[in-house]
């Protein structure tokens, strides 16, 4: 499973942001649930969990945390391009069917 896209310089920032989120009050509840999921996956054997978890990737909850962290703290402020499937109007402008659309994940501002 490939979880990282972008250059090496993006990994520390994403990891720091995810760990910061996990340190919040809500994040601590996620940590507790993750710990329980780890113990359940390894039958309560903490030694096996510690040594095998690096390569196993068998705990869906942990995989979901990693994927959500990468999605939420994206390394790129632009998502993959999309193509309009039909004509539509956006803030008074016609966007024709087939138009390539890029969606920014960065800070948003209201278009008046």
Domain boundaries defined on the chain: 10-72, 77-112
The one-digit pLDDT tens for each residue of the chain (112 residues) are: 444 444 445 677 788 888 999 999 999 999 999 999 999 999 988 888 888 877 888 899 999 998 888 878 776 655 667 788 999 998 899 999 999 887 665 555 555 5
The single-letter DSSP state of residue 61 is H
pLDDT at 110: 55
> Residue 94's Cα: distance from chain center in Å?
32
Q: How far apart are CA 56 and CA 35, in angstroms?
A: 15
Task: Please give the pLDDT value at position 27.
Answer: 94
Cα distance between residue 13 and residue 50, in whole Å: 25
The pTM of this model reads 0.56
How far is Cα of residue 6 from the mean position of the Cα atoms in its chain?
A: 14
Q: Report pLDDT for 23.
A: 93
Indicate the length of the chain as a whole number: 112
């Amino acid at each position: 499973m490939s979880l990282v896209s972008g250059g090496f310089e993006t990994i520390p920032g994403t990891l720091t942001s995810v760990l910061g989120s996990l340190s919040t009050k809500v994040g601590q509840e996620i940590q507790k649930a993750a710990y329980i999921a780890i113990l359940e996956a390894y039958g309560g054997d903490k030694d096996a969990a510690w040594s095998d978890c690096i390569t196993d990737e068998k705990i869906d909850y942990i995989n979901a945390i990693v994927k959500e962290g990468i999605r939420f703290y994206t390394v790129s402020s632009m998502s993959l391009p999309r193509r309009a499937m039909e004509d539509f109007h956006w803030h008074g402008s016609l966007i024709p069917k087939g138009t390539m659309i890029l969606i920014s994940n960065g800070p948003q501002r209201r278009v008046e």
